[in-house]
C-alpha cells in the first residue's frame, strides 16, 4: 500500500500576532506519501509506504478562515483551535496479487484499476485536496477603545498598559489596531491576575465610517469579540456631545448589537479650562442619552396587546435613545494623569459585570 499524503491543518497559535507571513508565502503544500519499498536489497518482499505527516500552519488567535466563495470554515477564537482545510491523497495499491473471487469486487469499488501483463492489479492513488482560502484577523480583546480621531485613545492605551502606539497631534495616527494588557485589580489580592484584560485601540471613526469613509469600516469588525466598550470623547472639543452621538450612530449603523454592550464614557482632556468648566453639564447630558428601562410601563389591555402584536413586523427603527445609557461617565486627563485610577475602577467594574452575568457574549454575525 502506498502511503497517504499529508493533511493540511490551520491552528490558532498564541505566539503569532499577524498574518504578514502569508504575504511572503501564499502557497503551502503537504508532503506526499511514501512509495512501496523493498524490505531488502536482495529481497522481493515489499512493505507499505510511509504516510506523510500533517502540515500544521499557525495563525494568530482570532483568525477567521473562509473559502473562496466567502463561506466561513472556522473562527479560531481560542488558542489551540484548529480546522482541517485539506485532506491528503489516498495511497495506491502496488502490484497486489488478487485472488480471482476478489478481483471483481475490488474492480467494482474503484475505476482507477489497471492490470499488467501478469494479471496483477494496480489501484491508482487518489490526489489530495487543493483549496484557496481567505484569512481574516479579528482582534480578540476584552475592551475596545472607540472615538473620533485625536480623542486620546492611543494616549490612554499607552498610559494604562505597556503598549507603545504611535501618538501625534494629527488625526489617523492609528492605522491598525493596537493591543495592550491591563493589569489585574490589586484589591482582589491573590486573585488579581484572574482579572487581567486585553485592550484594543481602534482607528478613529468619522461620520460615514459604516459606509467605508475613513478607516472605520475596515476595523469596526474588531469590536465583535469585545465585552466592554470605552468611548473616549475630547471634552475640550467644540461640541463633545455631538461627537459622542456621531460615533454611537456609526456603531449603530454598522451593527446595532454593539450598542447593547456595556460601556463607559471617558471625557478626556479635563485639564484644559474649556473642558473643566463644563464637565458636570457634559456628564449629565451624556447620561440622559439612552433608555435604562427603569421607567414604569403602562399596562396593556388585550386590545392594545393584540394591536401591538399585529404591527410587530412594522416596528420603527431604534434610535440612540432606545439603547442603554453608559454605565458611567468619567472625566480624566490622560496626559496629566488626572483621575486615571477612577477610570480603571469603572472599567474593571464593567468587566466584572460581564463576568458575573450568566448570559454568554452575544457575537453579532459578520456584515
Alpha-helical segments (H) within the chain: 21-24, 100-109, 153-160, 216-220, 240-254, 273-276, 279-287, 302-310, 340-356
pLDDT at 214: 46
Q: 35 vs 64, which has greater pLDDT?
A: 64
Structure confidence at residue 266 (pLDDT) = 92
Q: Are 289 and 321 in contact (CB under 8 A)?
A: yes
User: 171: which DSSP letter?
Assistant: S
Q: Cβ-count burial of 270 within 10 angstroms (0-12 exposed, 13-18 middle, 19+ buried)?
A: buried
Whole-number average pLDDT of the chain: 76
Between β-strands 93-96 and 37-38, what pairing exists: parallel, antiparallel or unpaired? unpaired
What are the residues whose beta carbons fall under 8 Å from the beta carbon of 132, sequence distance 6 or more?
67, 68
Confidence of residue 290 (pLDDT cuts 50, 70, 90): confident
Rounded (10°) angle between helices 153-160 and 340-356? 90
Return the SS3 of 238: coil
Evaluate if residue 133 carries a pLDDT over 90: yes
Q: Pick the most confident of 32-41, 134-143, 164-173.
A: 134-143
Measured CA to CA, the distance from residue 131 to residue 359 in angstroms comes to 37
Residues in the chain, overall count: 367
Coil, strand or helix: which one is 22? Answer: helix
Phi, psi of 331 (to 5 degrees): -95, 125
Cα–Cα–Cα angle for 351, 357, 359, nearest 5°? Answer: 120
Per residue in 177-206, pLDDT tens? 677 778 766 766 666 666 678 887 876 565
Model pTM above 0.75: no
Looking at residue 38, its pLDDT comes to 61
Per 3-state DSSP, the chain is made up of helix, strand and coil in percentages (nearest 5) of: 30, 20, 50
Phi first, then psi, for residue 309 (nearest 5°) are -70, -40
pLDDT tens-place string over residues 238-286? 899 998 998 888 888 888 888 888 899 999 989 888 888 889 999 999 9
Tell me the pLDDT tens digit for each residue of 350-364. Answer: 888 876 654 444 445
Mean pLDDT of 79-98: 81
Amino acid at each position: 500500500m502506498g502511503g497517504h499524503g499529508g493533511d493540511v491543518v490551520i491552528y490558532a497559535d498564541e505566539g503569532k500576532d499577524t498574518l504578514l507571513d502569508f504575504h511572503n508565502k501564499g502557497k503551502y503544500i503537504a508532503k506526499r506519501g511514501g512509495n512501496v519499498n523493498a524490505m531488502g536489497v536482495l529481497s522481493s518482499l515489499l512493505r507499505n509506504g510511509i504516510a506523510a505527516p500533517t502540515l500544521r500552519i499557525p495563525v494568530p488567535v482570532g483568525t477567521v478562515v473562509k473559502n473562496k466563495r466567502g463561506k466561513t470554515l472556522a473562527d479560531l477564537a481560542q488558542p489551540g483551535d484548529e480546522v482541517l482545510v485539506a485532506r491528503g491523497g489516498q495511497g495506491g495499491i502496488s502490484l497486489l496479487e488478487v485472488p480471482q473471487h476478489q478481483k471483481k469486487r475490488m474492480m467494482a469499488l474503484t475505476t482507477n484499476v489497471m492490470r499488467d501483463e501478469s494479471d496483477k492489479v494496480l489501484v491508482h492513488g487518489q490526489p489530495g485536496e487543493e483549496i484557496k482560502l481567505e484569512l481574516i484577523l479579528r482582534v480578540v480583546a476584552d475592551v475596545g477603545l472607540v472615538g473620533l480621531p485625536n480623542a486620546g485613545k492611543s494616549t490612554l492605551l499607552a498610559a494604562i498598559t505597556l503598549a507603545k502606539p504611535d501618538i501625534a497631534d494629527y488625526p489617523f495616527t492609528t492605522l491598525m489596531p493596537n493591543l495592550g494588557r491591563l493589569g489585574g485589580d490589586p484589591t482582589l489580592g491573590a486573585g488579581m491576575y484572574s482579572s487581567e484584560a486585553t485592550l484594543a485601540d481602534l482607528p478613529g471613526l468619522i461620520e460615514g465610517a459604516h459606509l467605508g469613509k475613513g478607516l472605520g469600516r475596515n476595523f469596526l469588525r474588531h469590536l465583535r469579540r469585545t465585552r466592554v466598550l470605552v468611548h473616549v470623547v475630547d471634552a475640550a472639543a467644540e461640541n463633545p456631545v455631538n461627537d459622542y452621538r456621531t460615533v454611537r450612530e456609526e456603531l449603530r449603523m454598522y451593527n446595532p448589537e454593539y450598542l447593547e454592550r456595556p460601556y463607559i464614557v471617558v471625557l478626556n482632556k479635563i485639564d484644559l479650562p474649556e473642558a473643566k468648566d463644563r464637565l458636570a453639564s457634559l456628564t449629565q447630558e451624556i447620561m440622559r442619552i439612552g433608555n435604562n428601562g427603569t421607567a414604569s410601563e403602562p399596562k396593556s389591555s388585550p386590545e392594545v396587546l393584540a394591536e401591538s402584536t399585529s404591527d410587530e413586523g412594522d416596528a420603527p427603527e431604534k434610535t440612540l435613545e432606545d439603547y442603554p445609557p453608559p454605565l458611567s461617565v468619567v472625566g480624566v486627563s490622560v496626559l496629566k494623569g488626572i483621575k486615571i485610577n477612577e477610570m480603571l475602577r469603572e472599567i474593571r467594574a464593567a468587566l466584572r459585570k460581564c463576568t458575573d452575568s450568566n448570559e454568554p457574549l452575544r457575537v453579532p454575525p459578520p456584515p
